């Protein structure tokens, strides 16, 4: 069966869903792989490398998709792209169902099985498929580098004949995968790092990387290792308590997100205005609305004497390794939906069930049926199908 890798169409996107070494493994497993010409160029994977790995190089997206049983993408297809998905195919991507309603409606009409990486369950067996985490590693690393580049001070302490230069003070807010990588990167660069998270369990992880954990008395442990959404009262208490921490920092890196919801506001404009001249705020949640008042996705905005940088699609800034990691996640999840060049998803596997928004054009859950206005798939019975 044919597996298609079209070029990503999101503005500024440089990643590609598969890389040549994974293509070679899939071809060896019996898949026929088609890659749209130029799909990997921005990530430094030229057509020749894909061809050498055994892929067919398709001149257009239409030719790439023609006859495909599986389509893999980094970003969710648009409604127009969904209309080009082969009938009855499987589409694997970061679908973010609440933000892709129109495209999913079109896909449903074509009998597509839509599989979303952002629905992967937080269980040990799914770790090798966890594309959210692999891309968050890239984001956290980039956040540390971006902060160091923009700050007009050194990150490390320097002891010179002209005097001692103190290290930069960095506050990382949100100690998930991205936050931990931001802590590690800032520490490697020599900064003094403090970290905050509403999950008490994050304290040990932050301290293991050399950060001092900030405790404010506001906790919000949620399901699956994520933070739950704070109440308005909790959020107000959190923002007030954080104001002094923010004001004392040279750099603030925010990474907080609640799955399926707008990013929570952690840093108010008033707090940013208390920061010293030249201070930098890196907002990794910019695409989800931002953790800071004043954040604009893809722009650096002056707020008082500080600068708030809304990083848009940060993994795309390091497309080679971001693609390298994503491709491995794709291959590992794909193995649950088919092998030896054939599609045969095990609909009794909890990972398969959890990641499928649509099953052959029908909604996998009542919530998705209501969201998309499509029929609910029949109950899963028996063995693999």
pLDDT (tens digit, 9 = 90+) per residue, 262-307?
888 899 999 999 999 999 999 999 999 999 999 999 999 999 999 9
- Residue 226's pLDDT is 54
- Residue 222's pLDDT is 53
- Residue 383's pLDDT is 52
pLDDT less than 70: residues of the chain: 218-230, 259-260, 382-385
- Residue 351's pLDDT is 97
- Residue 384's pLDDT is 47
- Residue 119's pLDDT is 95
Distance separating alpha carbons of residues 69 and 341, to the nearest angstrom: 10
What are the residue boundaries of the structural domains of the chain, listed by start? 2-129+319-372, 136-312
Catalytic residues: 122, 127, 130, 133, 226
- Residue 251's pLDDT is 98
**Would you state the CATH architecture of domain 136-312?**
3-Layer(aba) Sandwich (3.40)
Portion of the chain with pLDDT greater than 90, in percent: 85
Contact (Cβ atoms closer than 8 angstroms) between residue 363 and residue 372: yes
Distance separating alpha carbons of residues 24 and 236, to the nearest angstrom: 53
Helix/strand/coil for 357: coil
Q: Which fold has domain 2-129+319-372?
A: Rossmann fold (3.40.50)
Whose tokens are 């004497």? That residue is: 305
CA distances from 50 to 23, 65, 116, 309, 339 (A): 7, 16, 25, 36, 20
Distance separating alpha carbons of residues 101 and 123, to the nearest angstrom: 27
């Amino acid at each position: 069966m044919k597996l298609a890798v079209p070029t990503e169409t999101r503005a500024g996107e440089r990643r590609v869903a598969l890389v040549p070494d994974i293509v070679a493994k899939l071809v060896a497993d019996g898949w026929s792989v088609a890659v749209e010409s130029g799909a990997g160029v921005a990530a430094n994977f030229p057509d020749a490398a894909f061809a050498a790995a055994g892929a067919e190089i398709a001149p257009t997206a239409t030719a790439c998709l023609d006859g495909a049983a599986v389509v893999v993408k980094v970003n969710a297809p648009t409604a127009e792209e969904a209309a080009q998905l082969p009938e009855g195919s499987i589409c694997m991507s970061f679908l973010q169902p609440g933000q892709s309603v129109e495209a999913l409606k079109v896909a449903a009409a074509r009998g597509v099985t839509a599989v979303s990486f952002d629905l992967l369950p937080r269980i040990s067996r799914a770790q090798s498929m966890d594309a959210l985490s692999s891309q968050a590693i890239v984001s956290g690393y980039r956040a540390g580098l971006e902060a160091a580049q923009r700050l007009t001070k050194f990150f490390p302490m320097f002891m010179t004949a002209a005097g001692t230069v103190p290290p930069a003070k960095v506050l990382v807010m949100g100690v998930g995968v991205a936050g931990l990588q931001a802590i590690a990167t800032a520490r490697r660069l020599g900064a003094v790092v403090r970290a905050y998270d509403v999950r008490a369990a994050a304290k040990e992880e932050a301290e293991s990387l050399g950060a001092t954990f900030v405790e404010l008395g506001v906790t919000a442990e949620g399901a699956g290792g994520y933070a739950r959404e704070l109440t308005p009262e909790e959020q107000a208490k959190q923002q007030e308590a954080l104001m002094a921490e923010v004001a004392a920092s040279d750099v603030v890196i925010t990474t907080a997100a609640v799955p399926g919801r707008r990013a929570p506001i952690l840093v108010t404009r008033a707090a940013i205005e208390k920061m010293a001249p030249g201070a930098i705020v890196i907002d990794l949640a910019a695409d989800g609305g931002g953790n800071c008042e004043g954040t604009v996705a893809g722009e650096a905005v002056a707020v008082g004497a500080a600068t708030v940088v809304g990083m848009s699609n940060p993994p795309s800034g390091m497309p080679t390794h971001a693609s390298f990691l994503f491709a491995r996640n794709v291959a590992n999840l794909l193995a649950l939906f088919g092998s030896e060049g054939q599609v045969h998803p095990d609909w009794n596997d909890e990972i398969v069930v959890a990641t499928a928004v649509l099953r052959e054009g029908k909604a996998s859950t009542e919530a998705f049926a209501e969201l998309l206005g499509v029929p609910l798939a029949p109950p899963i019975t028996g063995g693999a199908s």
